[in-house]
Amino acid sequence: MRWKVVAQLAPRVTGRRILEFIRIVTNLKDSELITDEYQAHNLIGMELKHSVINYSEQYVDGKTHTNTT
């Protein structure tokens, strides 16, 4: 499997802008996003599989962590 990294400068980060970017660069049906608890990520979970790691409690939750591929 080949991985593609895509980055974009975001002058003002909002949940809506993050979701628009993700819609453009990924296949929502076959993707999972793993993030921290930043509130802007909450909107994303309504459109694709989304796991959250609470860094104040742990850095890994089973096999889920921000370095998961």
Which range is least confidently modeled, 29-38, 41-50, 59-68? 59-68
Q: Is the pLDDT of residue 69 over 60?
A: no
Q: What are the domain boundaries of the chain?
A: 15-52
Name the more confident of 9 and 56: 9
Between 59 and 4, where is the model more confident? 4
CA-to-CA distance for 69 and 39, rounded, in angstroms? 23
- C-beta separation of 15 from 21 below 8 A: no
Task: Round to whole Å and give the CA distance between 31 and 11.
Answer: 25
**In this structure, how many other beta carbons lie within 10 angstroms of the beta carbon of residue 64?**
13
Condensed to tens digits (0 to 9), the pLDDT of residues 8-41 reads 888 888 888 888 888 898 888 888 887 888 777 7
